[in-house]
């Protein structure tokens, strides 16, 4: 018995199927890659969207979990980080790296923008940031905003220290902060 003739309407409907455009995945998922980092960190994981780097933390089993808690998006491995990231972590121009900071609260965005202006070898107190963003009494909140910096090193929050000469806290720990500042020749007391 011959097959029945195909129905032209359902055949035409089937012809309306298309493949998803290549950019669709970029709207959903974030990609990540390992990048060598200055001592004592050794290596960091960098997550990035098609707009830029959105997250940087030390590599390890906690990286994906902390990323998911913060962003709630799929995290897929990439072959390499965006151009300029490795250079920026080793003395190159961090301004050359595009950052995707969408989703930050305005206060934190202001704090991080101010911190990004501090050059290697320099340090500024938390109160300096607070004054610079027009919130001179928000010194403690500045510390909190820097402590949850999504892209440390690329935004050098380690260059913000306490007014009394103390090193202050850091997302990678105070010892790492002291080591980074020492390596940059910043005016901090003693060796880490």
Partner 1 sequence: MDVSTFRGGSPAPPADPGTPPPHPDDPGPPLPHPDDPDLWFAELYRRHRSMVFSAALRLTGSHADADDLASETFLRAFRAAAAYGAPRRADLRPRPWLAAILLNAWRNRHRSATRTPPPLLLDSPLDRPDPGEDVEAAAERRETGGELARLLALLPEKQRAAVVLRHVAGLSTAEISTALAAPEGTVKSYISRGLRRLRALTDLEEAPHAGPRT
- Rounded to an integer, what distance in angstroms lies between the CA atom of residue 175 and that of residue 18? 54
Residues 19-58, mask of contacts with partner 1 (x by CB under 8 A): xxxxxxxxxxx-x-x--------------x-x--------
Cβ pair 190, 171 in contact under 8 A: no
Using CB under 8 A as the binding rule, whether residue 61 contacts partner 1 is answered as: no
Looking up tokens 């950052």 gives 99
Based on the residue annotation, tell me whether 157 is a catalytic residue of this protein: yes
Using CB under 8 A as the binding rule, whether residue 62 contacts partner 1 is answered as: no
Structure tokens at 99: 């950052």
Cβ pair 33, 77 in contact under 8 A: yes
Residues 76-105, mask of contacts with partner 1 (x by CB under 8 A): xxxxxxxx----------------------
- Per annotation, catalytic residue among 85, 118, 146, 157: 157
Using CB under 8 A as the binding rule, whether residue 63 contacts partner 1 is answered as: no
* Residue 171 CB, nearest approach to partner 1 (Å): 23
Cβ pair 158, 149 in contact under 8 A: no
- Rounded to an integer, what distance in angstroms lies between the CA atom of residue 97 and that of residue 74? 22
Residue ranges in contact with partner 1 by CB under 8 A: 4-10, 12-29, 31, 33, 48, 50, 64, 68, 72-83
Residues marked active site are found at 157
């Amino acid at each position: 018995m011959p097959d029945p003739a195909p129905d032209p309407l359902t055949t035409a409907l089937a012809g309306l199927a298309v493949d998803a455009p290549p950019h669709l995945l970029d709207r959903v998922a974030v990609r990540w890659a390992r990048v060598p980092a200055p001592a004592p960190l050794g290596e960091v994981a960098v997550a990035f969207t098609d707009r830029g780097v959105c997250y940087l933390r030390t590599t390890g089993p906690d990286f994906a979990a902390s990323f998911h808690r913060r962003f709630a998006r799929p995290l897929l491995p990439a072959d390499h980080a965006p151009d300029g990231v490795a250079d920026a972590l080793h003395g190159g121009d961090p301004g050359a790296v595009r950052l995707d900071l969408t989703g930050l609260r305005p206060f934190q965005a202001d704090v991080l923008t101010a911190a990004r202006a501090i050059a290697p070898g320099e340090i500024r107190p938390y109160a300096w940031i607070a004054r610079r963003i027009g919130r001179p009494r928000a010194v403690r909140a500045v510390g909190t905003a820097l402590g949850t910096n999504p892209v440390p090193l690329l935004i050098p929050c380690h260059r913000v220290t306490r007014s009394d000469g103390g090193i202050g806290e850091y997302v990678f720990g105070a010892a790492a902060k002291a080591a980074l500042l020492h390596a940059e020749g910043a005016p901090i007391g003693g060796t880490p």
